[in-house]
Chains A and B, each alone.
Chain A
Amino acid sequence: EAGVAQSPRYKIIEKRQSVAFWCNPISGHATLYWYQQILGQGPKLLIQFQNNGVVDDSQLPKDRFSAERLKGVDSTLKIQPAKLEDSAVYLCASSLGDSLANVLTFGAGSRLTVL
C-alpha cells in the first residue's frame, strides 16, 4: 500500500511569512496526526483528527498555527506568521483508528527553515 505522502519536503521562508504543508494519509485511515519535531528533540503532537473532526489540539499554538481536514482525507497545516522557533520537521501520521491496537504510519516529513 502507498505510504503517507507529504509535501513539500523542504521549505525555506523568512520570519513573518506564511507556509502550508500538505498530507495525504494511507487510504482508509480515519485518524490523522500532525507532529512537530525540532532538531534534537522527539516529535510533539500538534493536532489529531478523527475523520474531519479535531480530537486533540491542546498543543497547537493557535495564534499562528491552523490545520484542517475538510473531507476527512487529506490535511493542510498552515503557519502564519512564522517565527524563527518554528524551524522544525513537520511529520504527518495516520492510523486506522485511535485505539491502542492501531499503529501509526509516519510520512517522511516536511522540513521548515525560518530565517
Chain B
Amino acid sequence: AQKVTQAQTEISVVEKEDVTLDCVYETRDTTYYLFWYKQPPSGELVFLIRRNSFDEQNEISGRYSWNFQKSTSSFNFTITASQVVDSAVYFCALQQSNDYKLSFGAGTTVTVRA
C-alpha cells in the first residue's frame, strides 16, 4: 500500500520568511513518482513538480526548492522569501510504478501574512 503523510496541518509565516513543508511517503516499490501541487483559494490544483525515485537531485525553481531524501522517504518543499501570493494549500502526492492511482497527502495550509 502507498501512503503520503503531511504532518503539518497549518503553517503561518510573515512575508519574506522561509517556509518548509514536510512530506513523508511509504511505498514498497523501488520505482515511484512524487509530486507537489498548490491549491490557491480558487480551488484548482496547480502542478509544481514531478520527481521519479531514481533522481535524488534537489531542484530549485525560483523561490521554490525541493529536497528529495530516499533514505528518510521524504520529499520536502521550501518556499524562500515567502509572499502573500504563496498562501494556499500544498499537497504532496505519490504514484507507484505498477499503478494508475495518484495518492495525495492531507495537505498543508500555508498562510503568509503581510
| Co-complex (A, B) | no
